[in-house]
Amino acid sequence: MKLSHYLLLYCLGFILAWQSAPAQIHAAQEQLPLHLFTYDKTLPLAYHDSLMDTQQGVRIYQIAYASPLKGQVTGLLFVPPGPGPFPGILLQHGAPGSALAQTPRGLYLARHGAVVLATNAPFAQRGGDPLQFTLADSVDQVRYIINLQRAVDLLLRRPDIDTSRLGYVGRSYSGSMGVLLAGIERRIKTYVLAVADGGFVSHFSSTTALTGDQLSLEGPARKRWLAAQLPIEPIRFIHRTPGAGLLLQSARQDEAVAAADAEALHRAAPAGTLIKWYDAGHRLNAQAYLDQLAWFHQQLGTRAAGPGDEQGPAFPAPPSAQKRP
């Protein structure tokens, strides 16, 4: 059965329960649909790469591997000089965004002694709007998490990686998706989740959404979308994340994530989670990236920040301001 058909049946059941028995659905929401994120780990990776560039001693490869749900996952791999073994870090982009746009961050981390894998989210590969406000959004979300678990399989199979030292860093959209991944994936030791909220439902809530981000769907379409998204809303999974291995970074002047949503995520996080606020907007500031280096140095044994790191990654000039989930 196709993933979209499976999710449709699941969500129809969710809607019926919601309409007919509110008390039962409240109880059902306590039961996480972990089965949606399982996949056949014996499938071949069909991995291939090609050297694209070398910068600051870091080799940059274009990569692709097979998704367990058919098709390919594409991205970039950053390999530092030397034989290793190195920590492995999964680096994910926001929405809209792409793996290629993560090149400055990939170099920044790889220069400190980590193999960095940046993959494209499903919307980045298909093109178009990241969100369609249909059942396709929940299908994409499940597909993304399965593809990220497969990315962990890839890292674990590399001989130059210390399999006990895996990390994840994501911002905005991939910060929220990192919450979901951390609630499912047990092989990653530590997570850095920057300017994240609780997920799409939290982000587009009519009571907390920033101006222009309110959910515009009405009637049955609204009910279908919410019923599909609520079971896999990342904040519902955060209690399963590794508290002492979790760093949440938020911005006081964030123009894309409401402070109330960030604070709700913080409150739901397990004991031991480190929470840091910055006097910055959604793009954060140099101190946030220095804190990420310090965190991975502590958690994974990467090299500490040094001279030349004070300005953070060498990002290009920002485009004209635009909201993104």
**The pLDDT value given to residue 213:** 76
Q: Which DSSP state fits 315?
A: P
* pLDDT for res 30: 62
What pLDDT is stored for residue 29 in this prediction? 44
Q: Which residues of the chain have pLDDT under 50?
A: 9, 12-29, 321-324
Are the beta carbons of 316 and 134 closer than 8 angstroms?
no
Task: Tell me the pLDDT tens digit for each residue of 105-150.
Answer: 999 999 999 999 999 999 999 998 999 999 999 999 999 999 999 9
What is the pLDDT at residue 26? Answer: 41
Q: For residue 12, what are the CA distances in angstroms to 7, 18, 108? A: 8, 10, 45
Give the pLDDT confidence score for residue 210 in this predicted structure: 76
- Return all residues near 211 (Cβ < 8 A) that are at least 6 apart: none
**For residue 118, how many C-alpha atoms fall within 13 Å in the half-sphere facing its CB?**
27
**What pLDDT, on a 0 to 100 scale, did the predictor assign at position 315?**
84
Going by C-alpha positions, the residue among 245, 256, 92 that lies closest to residue 177 is: 92
What is the pLDDT, as a whole number, of residue 216?
83
Identify the CATH homologous superfamily for domain 3-300.
Alpha/Beta hydrolase fold, catalytic domain (3.40.50.1820)
What are the residue ranges spanned by the domains of the chain? 3-300
User: Which residue, among 227, 222, 228, has the nearest Cα to 206 in the 3D structure?
Assistant: 222
Structure tokens at 207: 């009571």
pLDDT of residue 17: 40
**C-alpha closest to that of 150 among 1, 3, 47:** 47
